[in-house]
Amino acid sequence: MKATDPSASVFRIRNLRAAALWLLVAVAGVGFIILRSGGLQLIAAGVIIVFALQASFVFWQGVTLGPDGTTFPRALHRVAPVLVFGRSKIKYPRLRDLTAVGPFLEFDVVWFSTDEKVIAVLFGTRAQKLAFFDAIMARQPGIRIYRAV
């Protein structure tokens, strides 16, 4: 929910609600391991814990606008942008337009469009999304921003 100053050289918006959600999934996985004993279930729970911890960390890092591009959590599929693995970076000249898609699980979704693909990014609140739009327009004035109905 926290955003840095839009005029700073690095502007960051953290999605603390999504980070907390994935941290709860990791804690539930640890609880499952403590209460259960047995082969494949423990392996599956361990994989879920590792995935949840990395997703929590990635959402905590948030969306970052740097001097040469934007870095964001990489969604595994744009239909379910809450499932993330690692981070991606797009240089400003490649970022063509942004589309505010609407809510997904109480998060605001924005599609980043390049010439090759469309990437879904989650924001915790509408205010964070609007702060991001203001900051990216200051860095790349020619970017187009749309709103899907």
Model's pTM, two decimal places?
0.81
CA dihedral 79, 84, 86, 90 (to 10 degrees): 30
According to the model, what pLDDT value does residue 142 have? 82
Tell me the C-alpha distance between 48 and 139, whole Å: 38
C-beta of residue 116 within 8 angstroms of C-beta of residue 128: no
According to the model, what pLDDT value does residue 1 have? 44
SS3 (DSSP) at 106: coil
According to the model, what pLDDT value does residue 15 have? 87
* Per-residue model confidence as pLDDT tens digits over 74-87: 888 878 888 888 88
Which single residue is written with the structure tokens 């050289």?
9
Domains, the chain, with CATH or none: 11-147 (2.30.29.30)
According to the model, what pLDDT value does residue 58 have? 92
Stretches in the chain below the pLDDT threshold 70: 1-8, 37, 149
Tell me the C-alpha distance between 65 and 89, whole Å: 10
